[in-house]
């Protein structure tokens, strides 16, 4: 891992192909692993029954919306941060990092509150049928609890990547996915 100044030098003066590869590979791995989350959930839930699997599918559209909000704040603040760091204006970058992170977290909290409040109509709006409604509501109730943490961690992840710490960002995502695969069967079946 490069130090802070080394990272600056590497990103501003390093050979372009090396900079791109060092940033791209961890980013690609992060994105693939994010897909694994969903595959793991579907796999373990699928062991219960088809209604449960259908419920996961319905809640996914909400999950993608929540993830998109995390990326929204992450890319927005991250782009600004990387420009400010490039210009050596660290104070501005720090301010934007916390603004992006907390905005993302609070929007996650709003989604959590609204989602739990309108659980029934939201389930129907996303396409739940009467047979899968109880499963959808159960699953969504749990997933919504994670919304603030999901949005803010994705924001943080993108901020890290845009600061040039793509490896660090990748480790965060990978450890989360490993934890998910380990805890999924445990929490779903017990």
Residue 189 lies in a domain: no
Residue 47 lies in a domain: yes
Residue 61 lies in a domain: yes
Interhelix angle 90-117/50-86, nearest 10 degrees: 160
State pLDDT tens for residues 141-161.
888 888 888 888 888 888 887
Tokens standing for 37? 């989350």
The listed range with the strongest mean pLDDT (79-83, 100-104, 147-151, 156-160) is 100-104
Domain range enclosing 128? 4-183
State pLDDT tens for residues 48-64.
777 778 888 888 888 88
pTM above 0.85, yes or no: no
Distance CA 83, CA 95 (A): 13
Tell me the CB-side half-sphere exposure of residue 66, using CA atoms within 13 A: 26
Number of domains in the chain: 1
Specify the 3-state DSSP secondary structure of 1: coil
Residue 110 lies in a domain: yes
Contact 185, 44 (CB under 8 A): yes
Residue 56 lies in a domain: yes
Residue 42 lies in a domain: yes
């Amino acid at each position: 891992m490069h130090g802070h100044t080394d990272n600056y030098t590497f990103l501003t003066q390093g050979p372009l192909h090396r900079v791109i590869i060092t940033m791209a590979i961890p980013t690609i791995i992060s994105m693939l692993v994010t897909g694994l989350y969903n595959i793991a959930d579907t796999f373990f839930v699928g062991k219960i029954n088809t209604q449960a699997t259908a419920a996961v599918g319905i809640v996914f559209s909400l999950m993608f919306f929540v993830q998109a909000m995390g990326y929204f704040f992450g890319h927005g603040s991250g782009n600004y941060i990387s420009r400010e760091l490039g210009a050596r204006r660290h104070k501005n970058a720090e301010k934007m990092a916390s603004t992006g992170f907390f905005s993302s977290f609070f929007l996650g909290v709003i989604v959590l509150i609204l989602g739990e409040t309108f659980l029934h109509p939201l389930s129907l709006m996303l396409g739940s049928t009467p047979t899968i409604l109880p499963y959808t509501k159960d699953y969504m109730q749990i997933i919504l609890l994670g919304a603030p943490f999901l949005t803010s961690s994705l924001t943080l992840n993108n901020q890290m990547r845009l600061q040039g710490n793509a490896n660090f960002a990748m480790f965060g995502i990978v450890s989360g996915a490993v934890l998910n695969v380990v805890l999924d069967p445990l929490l779903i079946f017990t």
